[in-house]
Amino acid sequence: MQPTSNAFKENAHLALNDATLQRAISKLGFQAARAAAIARLPEFDKLREQARAIKDHVLANLDLYLERYEAEAQKRGTEVHWCRTPQEARDAVLAICRRLGAKTVTKGKTMIGEEIAINDYLEENGIVPVETDLGEYIIQLRHEPPSHIIAPAIHLTKDQVSDTFLTSHRQYGKTRRLEEAAEMLAEAREILRAKFIAADVGITGANFLIAETGSSVIVTNEGNGDLTQTLPKAHIVLATPEKLVPTLEDATTILRLLARSATGQEMSVYTTFSTGPRRTADRDGPGEYHVVILDNGRTALIGSEFQDILRCIKCGACINHCPVYNAIGGHAYGWVYPGPMGSVLTPAIIGIEAAGHLPNASTFCGRCESVCPMKIPLPKMLRHWREKEFEKGLTPQRFRLGLKLWAWLARRPRLYRLATRLGMGMLGLAGRSKGRFRTLPLARGWTEGRDLPSPEGPTFHSLWAAQQGRGRP
Ligand code: SF4
């Protein structure tokens, strides 16, 4: 994976021609599951409004809530680490691991961990990270990045997972090729049990940080997060500032939207609240509890045209409903966050210069915004990124010239109408015999993949004017 815009087109071509990938992503069942879950919740839209208001309020008062969160967390024995850059976050994690003499670290699913490439960093420093979410475990064995923020191995078929287990689990004496998903799950559980017990440090993400109690919250379906954070000497949470909500009640309001929007479940199987390290009377829990809060450019978005993306709760609904994602999968996007939310967030983190193709990888169909539980105007922000790209002179020269020509024409309405009438008339003549174009000069990229119906003759303007009874303008 390369975080470069040049690689996107090549990645997309490869993905479209990868029959195994196409088979795997054609089975995504999240859309139907979400629709059914929402149909069972009449107050869904009301909850969306409430959730949006909660996050907007936090973003408008972020400094206050961050201070409150830190004070409450410290009161309960938590150490909060403020990090501006990925390197600072990596170093904070490594320093804790080194102090505790950690040799292995278990990990629950954390996209911030992916963002800072914590696994590579730990390995470079002699510490073995072990992913414990089943999907993350599978892709770690395959040395691949996740292809979806909630279903990291969604790009793989059952046969591929079976082959991976056969190769990777030989070292544990497992030599039978497994056919059934349940068998694979049982084998992974057996191997991971020992890793949970041996781990010195556990790292998880956070779905929420709660200001009034200094707690962090994770949702999982496998219980791996609980074993990751409860058994080792220390629990490290990787989070970002916008994960904050003021109260426990606010977290539960948004939780009602999260799983329904993600997988179509009413709630995830496990919702775990963590508040500080183990107390004297507690029977279990980590001896140390650290929260690493990474900014990485996020607070700079406050007050900008991209602020709304900070409401994102990483449910994945926009990804699941995106026609582009459903055609090419997640790896083609080239960085940690795929789909519409990634195409807005990634340029904010790694820069529009490196991620310019992402805001252009959209049909602007608007499905992402319509399904987003946090009512995030994703297409609007994709447009803003395109504007930034244009302002910085990053848009291809041909495209800029085309836009300039269009703008020149659009400022001259009579000429514009004449030109479009002539253009439509000529295209209508050229394509009328077949009714559609198979190839069209200057539009080969479009017609290679789909038909283009030939115009019927009149332009929109002339039809509209005729309907208004004014004849041709
Ligand atoms: S942008 Fe909206 S739909 Fe997409 S992951 Fe974030 S909250 Fe979910």
Q: How far is the CA of 207 from the centre of ligand 1 (A)?
A: 13
Within its chain, how far is the Cα of 378 from the centroid? Answer: 12
Q: What is the mean pLDDT of residues 258-267?
A: 97
- Among 148, 257, 312, 368, the mutation site with the greatest number of ligand 1 atoms within 8 A of its Cβ is 312
Place of tokens 């196409």: 22
Q: How far is the CA of 104 from the centre of ligand 1 (A)?
A: 33
Q: Predicted confidence band at 5 (pLDDT cuts at 50, 70, 90)?
A: low
Q: What is the mean pLDDT of residues 371-393?
A: 96
Q: Predicted confidence band at 459 (pLDDT cuts at 50, 70, 90)?
A: confident
Can you give the pLDDT at residue 2? 47
Can you give the pLDDT at residue 438? 67
Can you give the pLDDT at residue 239? 98
Report the alpha-carbon distance of residue 387 to residue 469 in Å, rounded: 38
Phi, psi torsion values for 305, nearest 5 degrees: -70, -5
Q: Is the CB of 313 under 6 A from ligand 1?
A: yes
pLDDT tens for 175-215 read 999 999 999 999 999 999 999 999 999 999 999 999 999 99
| Minimal-distance CA residue to ligand 1 atom 2 | 372
Contact 254, 51 (CB under 8 A): yes
- Among 255, 298, 374, the mutation site with the greatest number of ligand 1 atoms within 8 A of its Cβ is 374
In ligand 1, the atom with minimum distance to the C-alpha of 317 is 3
Contact 205, 237 (CB under 8 A): yes
Dihedral of CA 302/308/311/313: which sign? negative
Is pLDDT at 1 greater than 50 in this prediction? no
Assign residue 370 a region: left if phi > 0, alpha if psi is -120 to 50, beta otherwise?
Answer: alpha
| Minimal-distance CA residue to ligand 1 atom 4 | 318
The CATH homologous superfamily for domain 5-156+200-299 is NagB/RpiA/CoA transferase-like (3.40.50.10420)
189 burial type by CB count under 10 A (0-12 exposed, 13-18 middle, 19+ buried): middle
Q: Is the CB of 338 under 6 A from ligand 1?
A: no
pLDDT tens for 91-131 read 999 999 999 999 999 999 999 999 999 999 999 999 999 99
Place of tokens 């900014």: 295
Contact 318, 339 (CB under 8 A): yes
Is pLDDT at 473 greater than 80 in this prediction? no
Q: Is the CB of 318 under 6 A from ligand 1?
A: yes
Is pLDDT at 6 greater than 70 in this prediction? no
Measuring CA to CA, which residue among 397, 413, 374, 452 is closest to residue 57? 374
Q: Is the CB of 339 under 6 A from ligand 1?
A: no
- Among 255, 260, 261, 307, the mutation site with the greatest number of ligand 1 atoms within 8 A of its Cβ is 261
Q: Is the CB of 381 under 6 A from ligand 1?
A: no
Q: Predicted confidence band at 445 (pLDDT cuts at 50, 70, 90)?
A: confident
User: End-to-end distance of the chain based on CA atoms, in angstroms?
Assistant: 53
Q: Is the CB of 373 under 6 A from ligand 1?
A: yes
Q: What is the mean pLDDT of residues 385-405?
A: 91
| Domain locations along the chain | 5-156+200-299, 405-470
Average predicted confidence (pLDDT) for the chain: 93
| Minimal-distance CA residue to ligand 1 atom 6 | 312
Q: How far is the CA of 122 from the centre of ligand 1 (A)?
A: 30
Q: What is the mean pLDDT of residues 400-429?
A: 88
| Minimal-distance CA residue to ligand 1 atom 7 | 312
pLDDT tens for 343-378 read 999 999 999 999 999 999 998 999 999 999 999 999
Report the alpha-carbon distance of residue 161 to residue 430 in Å, rounded: 51
